[in-house]
Amino acid sequence: MFRADLHCHTTCSDGTLTPEELLHRAKQEGLNGLSITDHDTVAAYKAAIPLAATLEILLGVGVEFSSILRDTSIHILGYDFDLESPAILTLCQRHKKRRQVRNQRILERLSRLSMLIHEEELLAVGKGTVGRPHIAEIMMKKGYVRTMKEAFDLYIGDGKPCFDPGEGISSEETIWIIHQGGGKAFIAHPHILKHQNKLKELLKLPFDGIECYYSRSLPGNESRFLRIAKEKGWLISGGSDFHGDIKAHVPLGCSWVDEACFHQIFQRL
Ligand code: AMP
Ligand code: FE
Ligand code: FE
Ligand code: ZN
């Protein structure tokens, strides 16, 4: 049976496997298709494209952009865009700058609570898109917290004392840029939205699809989002949101889409 995992991360963002290791893992798991959706970068594709061909894994182009919809953080999956699109590459660069400023502010806030981390330490851990999971990792290493969860729950999670949202890029603009790059924009993990009103607002935006199958989503949610996709005439996506060891309870391929779904999304292949 054809299975494609359309949501996973590598060391190019906050995953723990390199793009090459991820593809070998996908082969081991018997996956036929994959999309690598690193946060705010497409750097994985340079190494991933030739290896996927060798391993005979269908690789669909993807990315997971952070965006802001009136003060709420919204993750948007972009699929099947042109990897050389200037619009997409410029957005990745904007995120890189946004994150540099934001990470500095978070480190500044942590230092006020006597948790000292130098920028160089952070850059030594994060090789591509650097964010809060990398900061949490150093907090653990230095003994400031015991677990990743503790770092987020007490200090750097949304709205916590050392959190900084950074200068946000709107959901509307993000969708527009994905479209400019010839791609399709999907609402990522809609079940984590705390307020129903936010989902309603999101459903008014010109998305092309919604992530219906997700590692920790309950079956009840799946049918709800499948119904929404049908009503809106949107495409359906799904994946594990695999991050490797830092989220060891989420294995690659634990959520997936079938062949028909895959080919509806990835028409450039
Ligand atoms: P950032 O992109 O810097 O805002 O960091 C967000 C990333 O941190 C998410 O994509 C998750 O991988 C991770 N994350 C968010 N919340 C938590 C949490 N409570 N515990 C562990 N990891 C988290
Ligand atoms: Fe992540
Ligand atoms: Fe996400
Ligand atoms: Zn993700």
Kindly report the CATH number assigned to the domain that includes residue 79. 3.20.20.140
What pLDDT was estimated at residue 145? 98
What pLDDT was estimated at residue 199? 95
What pLDDT was estimated at residue 194? 83
What pLDDT was estimated at residue 195? 85
Q: How far apart are the C-alpha atoms of 183 and 223, rounded to whole Å? A: 25
Distance 235 CA to ligand 1 centre (A): 26
pLDDT-based confidence at 88, cuts 50/70/90? very high
* 190 CB-near residues (< 8 Å, 6+ apart): 199, 202, 210, 211, 225
In this predicted structure, the answer to whether residue 56 has a pLDDT above a threshold of 90 is: yes
132 lines ligand 1 (CB under 6 A): yes
149 lines ligand 1 (CB under 6 A): yes
Q: What is the mean pLDDT of the chain?
A: 96
pLDDT-based confidence at 182, cuts 50/70/90? very high
* 171 CB-near residues (< 8 Å, 6+ apart): 67, 68, 69, 74, 76, 202, 205
In a domain, 42, yes or no: yes
pLDDT digits 0-9 by tens, 23-53:
999 999 999 999 999 999 999 999 999 999 9
Determine the 3-state secondary structure of 145 from DSSP: coil
pLDDT-based confidence at 127, cuts 50/70/90? confident
Distance 2 CA to ligand 4 centre (A): 22
Distance 186 CA to ligand 3 centre (A): 11
Least confident of 23-27, 94-98, 139-143, 244-248: 244-248
Longest dimension (CA), the chain: 54
Residue 246: nearest ligand to its CA? 1
Residue 12 domain boundaries:
4-91+170-265
Q: How far apart are the C-alpha atoms of 135 and 110, rounded to whole Å? A: 10
In a domain, 189, yes or no: yes
The tokens describing 159, both together, are 């709205």
In a domain, 174, yes or no: yes
pTM of the model: 0.97
Tell me the chain's radius of gyration from C-alpha atoms: 18
In a domain, 141, yes or no: no
Q: How far apart are the C-alpha atoms of 67 and 71, rounded to whole Å? A: 9
In a domain, 54, yes or no: yes
- Residue identified by tokens 């199958």 is 213
What pLDDT was estimated at residue 64? 98
What pLDDT was estimated at residue 17? 98
* 29 CB-near residues (< 8 Å, 6+ apart): 251, 252, 253
In this predicted structure, the answer to whether residue 71 has a pLDDT above a threshold of 90 is: no
In a domain, 101, yes or no: no
> Which residues sit with Cβ closer than 5 angstroms to ligand 4, an ion?
64, 241
- Residue identified by tokens 């594709």 is 45
In a domain, 129, yes or no: no
Which residues lie across from 79 on neighbouring strands?
A: 62, 184
Distance 165 CA to ligand 3 centre (A): 15
In this predicted structure, the answer to whether residue 240 has a pLDDT above a threshold of 80 is: yes
Residue 75: nearest ligand to its CA? 3
Domains contained in the chain, number: 1
Q: Is residue 58 left, alpha or beta, with left meaning phi > 0 and alpha meaning psi from -120 to 50?
A: beta
- Taking residues 163-186, what's their average pLDDT? 96
pLDDT digits 0-9 by tens, 108-126:
999 999 999 999 999 999 9
In a domain, 97, yes or no: no
What pLDDT was estimated at residue 74? 95
Distance 9 CA to ligand 3 centre (A): 10
- Of 152, 153, 241, the one to substitute when testing ligand 1's pocket (max ligand atoms within 8 A of C-beta) is 152
